[in-house]
Homo-oligomer: A and B are copies of this chain.
Amino acid sequence: MRMTPITLKKNQYALRAVFELAKRRGKGPTKISDIADAQSIPVRFLEVILNKLKGSGMIDAKRGFYGGYYLTRAPKQIRVADIMNFMQAPPKQEMCAACLAKSKCPYGHRCAFSAMWNRVNRAVLQVYNETTIQDLLDNDRQLQGKHRSPRKRHFKTQQGRSL
Docked-complex contact A113 and B136, CB < 8 angstroms: yes
Min CB distance, A125 to chain B, in Å?
Answer: 8
Residues B143 and A100 in contact, CB atoms below 8 Å apart = no
**Are B136 and A127 in touch, CB under 8 angstroms?**
no
Chain A residues touching B, range:
35 or more
B6 touches A120 (CB 8 A): yes
Chain B CB within 10 A, most for which of A2, A88, A95, A101: A2
Report the Cα distance A125→B2, complex, angstroms.
10
For residue A51, CB closer than 8 A to chain B, the reply is no
What 1/0 mask marks residues of chain A from 120 to 148 whose CB sits below 8 Å from any chain B CB?
11011111100100011101100100000
- Flag whether A112 is at the interface (Cβ < 8 A): yes
A19 interface residue per 8 A CB criterion: yes
Q: Say whether B158 contacts A115, CB under 8 Å.
A: yes
List 24 A-B residue pairs with CB atoms under 8 Å apart, sorted by A's residue number.
A1-B85, A1-B88, A2-B89, A2-B91, A3-B100, A3-B121, A3-B125, A4-B7, A4-B8, A5-B5, A5-B102, A6-B100, A6-B124, A7-B99, A7-B100, A7-B117, A9-B101, A80-B116, A112-B136, A112-B137, A112-B140, A112-B143, A113-B139, A116-B135
